Homo-oligomer: A and B are copies of this chain.
């Protein structure tokens, strides 16, 4: 998320941390590693990811070790970067809990209909000509474009499933990103679309989503995709344009699916899928090859019997 620019010295003071770098160095955003741009502070607490964080576009790194500071960047040394980052999130974007169904700070465009029982959180914006069916929940700060239809019971903006395993409990990374639904999107009933952790979950223009679909934090879906019912897409996936996923497909986290790919029903995608490829199965592989495997497997019991008979 973007924040009002703050100096390295002042940011470090907020979390009672020491720093390495010019005290006037500016931080203009707080973002998790997979979506960083210059000006951002990012956190890292595992040696495995030190290099990734230090070499990322982020210009400030909150880290739990006194390492060499890359040129042009700054470090903030804190024994618990994850917890420190949560404190900053809470400082810059404190959680609010609206006590009314339609927050007075929400904006709703012309010709848009919000039906009974729908909850529109603080600072939500809804475009023109939308239909928000009964009992849809839109969490604070989410943005809905024009001509969007959201069917009953769908949840837009729940927290990311992003937790750090502490010895005695799981510590949640405080979600401060949003969900952005672009124009002409149609979402079915009882779906759940999580906010990005620090950035945005995006449903691209003209994409159609059926019922009971889960879209995790920071997923970016392109334009004019078709998602059938019961799909679950894990966090940080990048889905191209005109991708089709049939019913009950699952996609593991942080994968890229190219434009025009087709994922057949119940497939479990465990690796990137190139543009235009048609895949099937768990783990999903190119459909024709998969069908040959299925056909071969049907012959296997008799084949084994035959080999034993020899």
Contacts and interface: CB of A to CB of B under 8 A. Distances in A.
Given A266-B268, A296-B300, A300-B297, A161 B188 contact: yes
Given A170-B224, A211-B158, A304-B303, A139 B152 contact: yes
Contacts of A113: 97
A126 interface: no
Interface residues of A, number: 79
Interface stretch (A7-15, A34-42, A66-74, A229-237): A229-237
A224 B224 CA distance: 39
A24 interface: no
Interface string A179-222: 00000101011111010000000000010101110101000000
User: Which DSSP category, helix, strand, loop or mixed, fits chain A's interface?
Assistant: loop
Interface in A104-146: 113, 115-117, 119, 131, 133-135, 137, 139
Nearest to A281: B282
A272 B246 CA distance: 18
B158 A188 contact: yes
Given A192-B190, A266-B268, A116 B101 contact: yes
Interface in A257-310: 265-266, 268, 270, 281-283, 285, 289, 292-301, 303-304, 307
B307 A161 contact: no
Contact of A115 (B99, B210, B299): B99
Contact of A192 (B155, B188, B234, B299): B188
Interface stretch (A25-33, A48-56, A78-86, A247-255): A247-255
A247 B265 contact: no
A192 B169 contact: no
A268 B158 CA distance: 27
Given A113-B97, A169-B184, A282-B266, A152 B137 contact: yes
Interface string A151-167: 11101001101010100
A116 to B, nearest CB: 5
Nearest to A163: B208
Given A97-B131, A119-B152, A229-B232, 20 more contacts: A99-B116, A117-B137, A134-B137, A137-B153, A151-B158, A151-B159, A152-B158, A161-B208, A161-B229, A168-B206, A170-B224, A188-B194, A192-B211, A211-B214, A214-B230, A230-B232, A230-B250, A232-B247, A293-B301, A299-B304
What 10 pairs across the A-B complex have the smallest Cβ distances? A192-B211, A137-B152, A158-B189, A189-B192, A155-B189, A230-B232, A119-B134, A161-B210, A214-B229, A296-B300
